[in-house]
Amino acid sequence: MKPLSVQLYSLRAEAQKDFTAVLKKIAGIGYAGVEPAGFWDLSPAEFKKIVTDLGMKVSGSHSPWCRSTDDVNQAIETAGILDVDKVACGYGRDEFKDLDSIKKLADIVNPMQRKLAENGITLFQHNHEFEFERLSDGRLAYEAYLDYCPDIKFEIDTYWSTNFGKEDPYEMLKKFSSRAILLHIKDGDFNLERTMLAAGDGLMNFPHVLEAMDPEVTQWLVVEIDNCKTDMFEAIEKSYNYLTKNGLSKGNR
């Protein structure tokens, strides 16, 4: 079993009020790690100390969010403070709409990836549904992307990889398992409005999907709930209980 983290973007509304209290509550639930997406009223060093003192680790970072070589120096500095060796990038629908757009994106990503690698940091990319849309030749946009960015790693969002139920999440993870160093875990009913549910409450068959994971590659499972039909902390805790009690991941309790 892989350790369980939570993407703190899920709790952005709560973090605006009291970020430290959010971290304490996450630790109390039992999460082994956190994945930041902003530090709110804390510095990266203050954030790291609180996380460590609470017995958790930083599983990876979405802060800073790398989009060009202009972001790399800050990413290297922040990764050092957080004691992580991987940082995220991500792009929008327009960058994956056709092959020409993907080629242009590769010209941005490859130099960034090389510079980070020279400093011992892995660049990983987080997906939404549009990277799992089909191009005119029938390939997934992500498949074509790998032709031009062969060294990029992925944080596969298992829910978005279905493209709202059009693709099989097991097959999508299996296809990219050799570079899926992190997995985002979320659940829902494949509704276009993107309302989410706690893991185990929706249509995702996680016991089956996670069989496609390469345990030699994937390091963490990361719960993320972009928005929710219920109280967010309730959904975060319910997701933890579902994943740990069913032997799909492990926490600190």
pLDDT for 115-132, tens place per residue?
A: 999 999 999 999 999 999
The structural domains of the chain, ordered by start, are 2-221+242-250 (3.20.20.150)
Q: Is the pTM value of this prediction over 0.85?
A: yes
* pLDDT given for residue 191 in this prediction: 85
Q: Does residue 74 register a pLDDT over 90? A: yes
CA distance from start to end of the chain: 14
Would you say residue 248 has pLDDT above 90? yes
Q: What mean pLDDT comes out for the span 150-173?
A: 97
pLDDT digits (tens, 9 = 90+) for 23-37: 999 999 999 999 999
Helix axes 12-29, 44-53, angle to 10 degrees: 30
Provide the mean pLDDT of the chain: 96
Q: Is the pLDDT of residue 194 over 80?
A: no
Is the pLDDT at 192 greater than 80, yes or no?
no
3-state secondary structure of 66: strand
pLDDT of residue 50: 98
Q: What is the rounded distance in angstroms from the CA atom of residue 167 to the CA atom of residue 217?
A: 22
Q: What is the pLDDT of residues 196-246, one digit of tens each?
A: 999 999 999 999 999 999 999 999 999 999 998 789 999 999 999 999 999
Give per-residue burial for 80-99: e unless 16+ CB within 10 Å, then b: ebbebebbbbbbeeebbeeb
In whole angstroms, give the CA distance from residue 224 to residue 10: 6
